[in-house]
């Protein structure tokens, strides 16, 4: 009978000097077994057959003690000689069907795949599991042509989800550069992008250096195991599920009122990593809506700040290597603490440095919300792995005229949101906000907002405070923050003392404060002025192609 296999923490060995040093592989694997790896693949591309059989036999002894299956990379003969549980086959190794013919039905056969076609063939030929990758570039695998990233893996999962029953049942592990810092986000984002309620997800992660290459493999393995077993902190709070049809006026208005009050009552910390140009207005706006602003561009301080329960805004105003490294540290700290992180990719796409910075940030951690104007969001789409029909270059921070209609924008934000498993807000005369399944068009706001430096950044600050104070309903919280902001802008612009963008700013800060006080004191009339429409259903405009 075929053994039942738990794929969640899949160890691939490496006997090279660079990772193993002068340690003994069998001892290192034994430590990993004690730490809790759930399956072991012995991978050694250089040793002679005699040595392979000897090492594999010793490894098999250890694995048996822990009741953990051992598979041999490439060498069907070695697996037979040792009598272990199976083999793992790369694309250059024996094909799955031939190996199955030799090994019979009860052994485990896994296959490395990096495309839909390879996945299709491996399943058809009888593979039990697929090792899908390469996820990220690593030192252990020099061949970088197969780096397919999160999105490439998700495409394969989606194919398997949509295909026949054997494809739906085949087990999957991802491989390539997974370590303690990215593991939980990888698990969260690796699911077949579909609006189904239970899409196919990855069954496990394969690791090499994160266990073999560290001084204490046992502790490393047990840490990874506990990360797999515990809920991802950034997505730990269950979100309500709501039919798109239930997103009616009164639900919305009630949620706005609740969210404004929650910010007022909890006064969440809004930690922004932003440039000097906008600090004054940002801080004043945060105070006006009831948040506690704090500025720290020092990544080393982030872990302590993250524990205070607030939200983080990453503003891509500066993209020096130093700023980016501080950003990454802060993102990791907030992800670990479960604090919301808002990404404001200012000017993304305008220069190649900004494009690279955006790609770097998206790979650095999980964002609860990504906001930007149309061009910035199109840059996010590219960085997320979509191919765009539009090839226009972004010229600067100014958004310029729109290239897309409202339904097209709704389609764009919903696709990115589904793919990144986040909330995407595209600002403009009509704002579009989506979490992948629900998309709203919001027509509040005033043109003065677009004429004030820092107003976009302050919106990020506002939304981060709303997310921090309303963790149990992030989508509607973000909508509430946006509405509070834009209705206050409308009220400020109407005032007699406001004659242009200059006099607008202080009035805007007043009105933000006053709208909050209104709600707290029971005056809710302003909430009736929301101009929100549910966009549904969203057509496929073919503007974004899966790369
Ligand atoms: C984890 O992997 C990522 C991507 O390969 C890398 O950038 C990061 O530095 C690694 N972190 C640790 C702690 O090794
Ligand atoms: C989007 O938000 C709505 C409203 O809160 C919720 O019902 C739905 O499940 C969310 N969708 C996703 C993919 O989180
Ligand atoms: C900060 O902003 C406020 C409100 O807009 C303004 O009155 C004040 O002069 C600004 N301070 C500085 C130092 O720019
Ligand atoms: C709202 C907020 O947190 N504002 C801060 C943003 O960062 C600047 C410095 O870059 C601080 O001075 C603000 O207080």
* CATH node for 266-475: 3.40.1190.20
Cis peptide before 537 (omega within 30 of 0): yes
Give the pLDDT score at 280: 79
Q: Residue 68: name the closest of 8, 133, 28, 27 by CA.
A: 8
Give every CB contact of residue 398 below 8 A, 6+ residues apart in sequence: none
Task: Enumerate the domain spans of the chain.
Answer: 9-232, 266-475
Tens digit of pLDDT for each residue in 7-42?
A: 999 999 999 999 999 999 999 999 999 999 999 999
Other CB atoms within 10 A of residue 167 CB:
18
The residue to mutate among 150, 176, 177, having the most atoms of ligand 1 within 8 angstroms of its beta carbon, is 177
Range from 236-250, 256-270, 290-304, 449-463 carrying the lowest mean pLDDT: 236-250
Which atom of ligand 3 approaches the CA of 280 most closely? 1
Tens digit of pLDDT for each residue in 398-431?
A: 445 777 889 999 999 999 998 888 999 999 999 9
Give the pLDDT score at 58: 98
Give the pLDDT score at 386: 83
**Distance from the alpha carbon of residue 249 to the mean position of ligand 2, in angstroms:** 16
**Distance from the alpha carbon of residue 444 to the mean position of ligand 4, in angstroms:** 26
Give the pLDDT score at 547: 60
Give the pLDDT score at 96: 97
C-beta of 411 in contact with ligand 2 (< 6 A) = no
Give the pLDDT score at 144: 59
Range from 112-116, 138-142, 362-366 carrying the lowest mean pLDDT: 138-142
Give the pLDDT score at 541: 76
**Distance from the alpha carbon of residue 311 to the mean position of ligand 4, in angstroms:** 13
Give the pLDDT score at 147: 80
**Distance from the alpha carbon of residue 19 to the mean position of ligand 1, in angstroms:** 15
* CATH node for 9-232: 3.20.20.70
Give the pLDDT score at 394: 46
C-beta of 251 in contact with ligand 2 (< 6 A) = no
Give the pLDDT score at 453: 77
In a 3-state reduction of DSSP, which class is residue 204?
A: strand
The residue to mutate among 276, 284, 510, having the most atoms of ligand 3 within 8 angstroms of its beta carbon, is 284
Give every CB contact of residue 405 below 8 A, 6+ residues apart in sequence: none
pLDDT > 50? residue 393: no
Tens digit of pLDDT for each residue in 252-283?
A: 999 999 999 999 999 999 887 766 666 778 88
What is the per-residue burial (b if ≥16 Cβ within 10 Å, else e) of 510-530?
bbbbebbebbeeeeeebbeeb
Helices (H), ranges, 230-291: 249-266, 279-289
Residues with catalytic function: 457
CB-neighbour burial class of residue 434 (10 A; exposed 0-12, middle 13-18, buried 19+)? buried
Range from 291-305, 359-373, 414-428 carrying the lowest mean pLDDT: 291-305
Task: Please compute the mean of the pLDDT values over residues 294-310 and round it to a whole number.
Answer: 87
Cis peptide before 512 (omega within 30 of 0): no
CB of 322 within 8 A of CB of 352?
no
Band of residue 397 on the pLDDT scale cut at 50, 70, 90: very low
Task: Please compute the mean of the pLDDT values over residues 365-389 and round it to a whole number.
Answer: 90
Distance CA 544, CA 408 (A): 10
Q: Which residue has the higher pLDDT, 544 or 42?
A: 42
Phi/psi for 9 (5° steps) reads -125, 100
Largest separation between any pair of C-alpha atoms in the chain: 90
Give the pLDDT score at 391: 46
What's the helix, strand, coil split of the chain in %, to 5? Answer: 50, 15, 35
pLDDT > 60? residue 337: yes
Q: Give 442's strand partners.
A: 431, 532
Give the pLDDT score at 196: 61
The alpha carbon of 223 is separated from its chain's Cα centroid by a whole number of angstroms, namely: 21
The residue to mutate among 277, 278, 279, 280, having the most atoms of ligand 3 within 8 angstroms of its beta carbon, is 280
Which atom of ligand 2 approaches the CA of 421 most closely? 13
Give the pLDDT score at 396: 42
CA dihedral 345, 351, 353, 355 (to 10 degrees): 50
Q: Provide, rounded to the nearest whole percent, the portion of the chain with pLDDT above 90.
A: 65
Give every CB contact of residue 308 below 8 A, 6+ residues apart in sequence: 269
pLDDT > 70? residue 306: yes
pLDDT > 70? residue 145: no
Give the pLDDT score at 395: 41
Range from 272-281, 376-385, 393-402, 429-438 carrying the lowest mean pLDDT: 393-402
């Amino acid at each position: 009978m075929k053994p039942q296999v738990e794929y969640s923490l899949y160890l691939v060995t490496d006997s090279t000097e660079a990772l193993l040093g002068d340690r003994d592989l069998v001892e290192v694997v034994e430590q990993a077994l004690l730490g809790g790896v759930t399956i072991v693949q012995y991978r050694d591309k250089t040793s002679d057959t005699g040595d392979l059989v000897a090492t594999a036999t010793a490894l098999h002894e250890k694995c048996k003690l822990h009741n953990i299956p051992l598979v041999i990379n490439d060498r069907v003969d070695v697996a037979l000689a040792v009598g272990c549980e199976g083999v793992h086959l790369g694309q250059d190794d024996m094909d799955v069907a031939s190996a199955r013919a030799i090994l019979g039905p009860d052994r485990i056969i896994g296959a490395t795949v990096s495309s839909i076609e390879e996945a299709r063939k491996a399943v058809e030929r009888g593979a039990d599991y697929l090792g899908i990758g390469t996820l990220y570039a690593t030192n252990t695998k020099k061949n970088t042509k197969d780096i397919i990233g999160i999105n490439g893996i998700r495409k394969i999962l989606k194919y398997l989800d949509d295909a026949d029953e054997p494809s739906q049942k085949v087990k999957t592990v991802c491989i390539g550069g997974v370590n303690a810092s990215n593991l939980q986000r990888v698990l969260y984002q690796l699911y077949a992008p579909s609006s189904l309620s239970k899409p196919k997800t990855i069954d496990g992660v394969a690791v090499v250096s994160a266990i073999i290459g560290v001084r204490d493999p046992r502790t490393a393995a047990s840490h990874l195991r506990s990360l797999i077993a515990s809920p991802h902190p950034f997505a730990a709070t269950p979100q309500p599920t709501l039919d798109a049809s239930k997103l009616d006026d009164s639900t919305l208005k009630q949620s706005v009122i609740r969210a404004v009050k929650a910010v007022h009552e909890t006064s969440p910390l809004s930690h922004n990593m932003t440039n000097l140009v906008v600090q004054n207005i940002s801080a004043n706006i945060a105070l006006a809506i009831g948040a506690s602003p704090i500025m720290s561009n020092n990544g080393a301080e982030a872990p302590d700040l993250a524990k205070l329960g607030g939200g983080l805004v990453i503003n891509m105003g500066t993209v020096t290597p130093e700023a980016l490294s501080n950003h990454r540290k802060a993102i990791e700290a907030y992800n670990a603490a479960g604090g919301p992180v808002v990404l404001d990719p200012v000017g993304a796409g305008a220069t190649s440095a900004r494009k690279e910075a955006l790609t770097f940030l998206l790979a650095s951690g999980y964002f609860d919300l990504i906001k930007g104007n149309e061009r910035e969001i199109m840059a996010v789409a590219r960085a997320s792995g979509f191919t765009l029909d539009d090839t226009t270059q972004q010229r600067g921070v100014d958004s310029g005229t729109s290239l897309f209609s409202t339904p097209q924008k709704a389609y764009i934000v919903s696709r990115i949101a589904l793919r990144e498993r986040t909330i995407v807000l595209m600002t403009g005369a009509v704002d579009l906000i989506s979490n992948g399944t629900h998309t709203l068009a919001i027509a509040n706001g005033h043109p003065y907002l677009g004429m004030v430096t820092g107003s976009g950044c302050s919106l990020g600050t506002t939304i981060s405070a709303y997310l921090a104070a309303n963790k149990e309903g992030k989508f509607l919280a973000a909508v509430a923050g946006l509405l509070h902001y834009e209705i206050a802008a409308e009220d400020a612009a109407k005032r007699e003392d406001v004659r242009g963008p200059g006099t607008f700013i202080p009035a805007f800060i007043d009105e933000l404060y006053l709208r909050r006080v209104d709600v707290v004191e029971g005056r809710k009339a302003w909430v009736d002025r929301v101009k929100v429409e549910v966009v549904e259903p969203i057509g496929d405009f073919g503007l974004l192609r899966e790369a």
